[in-house]
Amino acid sequence: MIRLNRLIAQLLFLVPKSLVEIFAKQYIAGETLSQALEKTRELNDLKIDVTLDFLGEDPQKKRDCRAAVDVYKKAIKEIHNRNLKSGISLKPSQMGLKINKQFCFDNLHDLIDHARKHMVFVRIDMEDTSLKEDTIDLYLKLKKEFENVGIVMQAYLRSAIADINGMIQAHANIRLCKGAYYWEDRKVAYKDMNIINSSYAYLMEKLLSNNCFTGIATHDEKLLFEAMKLIDKLGVSKEKYEFQMLYGVQEDLRKIIHDHGHSIRVYVPFGKDWFAYSVRRLKENPKMVSYIFTNGIKNIFSH
Ligand SMILES: Cc1cc2nc3c(=O)[nH]c(=O)nc-3n(C[C@H](O)[C@H](O)[C@H](O)COP(=O)(O)OP(=O)(O)OC[C@H]3O[C@@H](n4cnc5c(N)ncnc54)[C@H](O)[C@@H]3O)c2cc1C
């Protein structure tokens, strides 16, 4: 089923955007910052923390990166002024990493400094492996100066064990996920889901047993069970971990975990540039195949 999902994901560019949008909307808070802030308030009222993600990957021009910085600055100010429990998540490519590394560093520095003044945490997302080394390098430089910054590690990468060892040495703040860029080459990423899950469990144990703050970012119930087991076995304190889930995914499970007394943070994307993000989510949705077959194929041939 996963293979079929991936094949269909590769063909999604054939599906009219208006159709993808219908299904994609469940994963997005809205196109505007004010819609995202409203969702944040709703989630906070349920005692759920948030991280806001302004959608946009791979801008080609410096001015587009600066525009994204401005949106994030506004979001940070609003989070502070409205007393919301939210951080922000951002993509290095959106900050200009593919244009120029120093330009990206300057944007990140500017934003993280602004966030520190407003007591907001900044999480640097991890993109595909072509950006991994630079992302780690930028993070480690920024971490020397700022405490309000964290990074993401992807369990599907063969290099993850070595990278996590480095992060433990640096007392990093980590979000651990499986990894979303499924087209990575076999040379760099595991392709077998059993190995990815085993890698996830191993890395999670390393992080938790070495006192690194760990954002356990998965909707996989088996891994969530492994996490509970570890938290109990190691006596991990509440300040050292939280569960993280994506907006619109497994909300029932999220509630169950929260009702059992664990902290939860939800990743809330917003913005007009929703297509690439939504396609990644659609390919991970086990129900996508039946949806696309029943609604999509008909539409493809009628256009
Ligand atoms: C808070 C957060 C931040 C993330 N940040 C990054 C990042 O910076 N870089 C990166 O590469 N990846 C990131 N990811 C994505 C992650 O790498 C995975 O691609 C994604 O979370 C799916 O993996 P999973 O662990 O939920 O396991 P899966 O095996 O994909 O899913 C487990 C189960 O969850 C349910 N499920 C999962 N996805 C969906 C969906 N879209 N719709 C409906 N049901 C679904 C299904 O029931 C599925 O069987 C992030 C994920 C989270 C939760």
126 is in an annotated binding site: yes
Angle (nearest 5°) at CA 154 between 109 and 131: 50
Name every residue whose Cβ is closer than 8 Å to that of residue 43 and which is 6 or more positions away in sequence.
Answer: 49, 50, 266, 268
Residue nearest to atom 24 of ligand 1 (CA): 218
Phi, psi dihedral angles at 157 (to 5 degrees): -85, 135
Q: Which protein residue has the closest C-alpha to ligand 1 atom 47? A: 286
Q: Look at ligand 1, atom 5, and give the residue with the nearest C-alpha.
A: 125
Model confidence band, residue 111 (pLDDT cutoffs 50, 70, 90): very high
Q: Identify the pLDDT of residue 6.
A: 65
Q: Which two tokens stand for residue 274?
A: 């929703």
DSSP classification of residue 151: E
Q: What is the pLDDT of residue 300?
A: 47
Q: Is 260 annotated as a binding residue?
A: no
Integer angstrom CA distances of residue 59 from 56, 64, 66, 134, 281: 7, 6, 10, 17, 21
- Residues 6+ positions from 168 with CB-CB distance below 8 Å: 206, 207, 210, 212
Taking the C-alpha atoms of residue 227 and residue 257, their distance in angstroms, rounded to an integer, is 11
Mean pLDDT of 195-217: 98
- Mean pLDDT rounded to a whole number for the chain: 92
Cα separation values, 68 from 47, 97, 226, Å: 28, 13, 37
Quick one: pLDDT band at residue 274, thresholds 50, 70, 90? Answer: confident
Q: Do residues 231 and 208 lie in contact, with contact meaning Cβ atoms separated by under 8 Å?
A: yes
Q: How confident is the model at residue 10 (pLDDT cuts 50, 70, 90)?
A: low
CA 126-73-180 angle, to 5 degrees, is 15
Q: Is 283 within any annotated ligand binding site?
A: no
- 146-to-7, 26, 136, 163, 265 alpha-carbon distances in Å: 42, 34, 15, 20, 21
Looking at the predicted structure, is the pLDDT value of residue 294 above 90?
Answer: no
d(CA 198, CA 209): 17
Q: Which domains does the chain possess?
A: 1-28+275-303 (no CATH), 37-273 (3.20.20.220)
Question: What are the tokens at 59?
Answer: 């801008």
The pLDDT tens digits for 159-182 are: 999 999 999 999 999 999 999 998
When computed from its CA atoms, the radius of gyration of the chain, rounded to whole angstroms, is 19
> Residue 249 in contact with residue 12, Cβ under 8 Å?
no
* Ligand 1 atom at minimal distance to the Cα of residue 177: 17
Q: 6-15, 53-62, 122-131, 139-148: lowest mean pLDDT where?
A: 6-15
DSSP-derived letter for residue 292 is I
Q: Please list every protein residue whose CB sits less than 6 Å from any atom of ligand 1.
A: 125-126, 152, 154, 175, 177-181, 217-220, 244-246, 249-250, 267, 281, 284-286
Identify whether the C-beta of residue 226 lies closer than 8 Å to the C-beta of residue 220: no
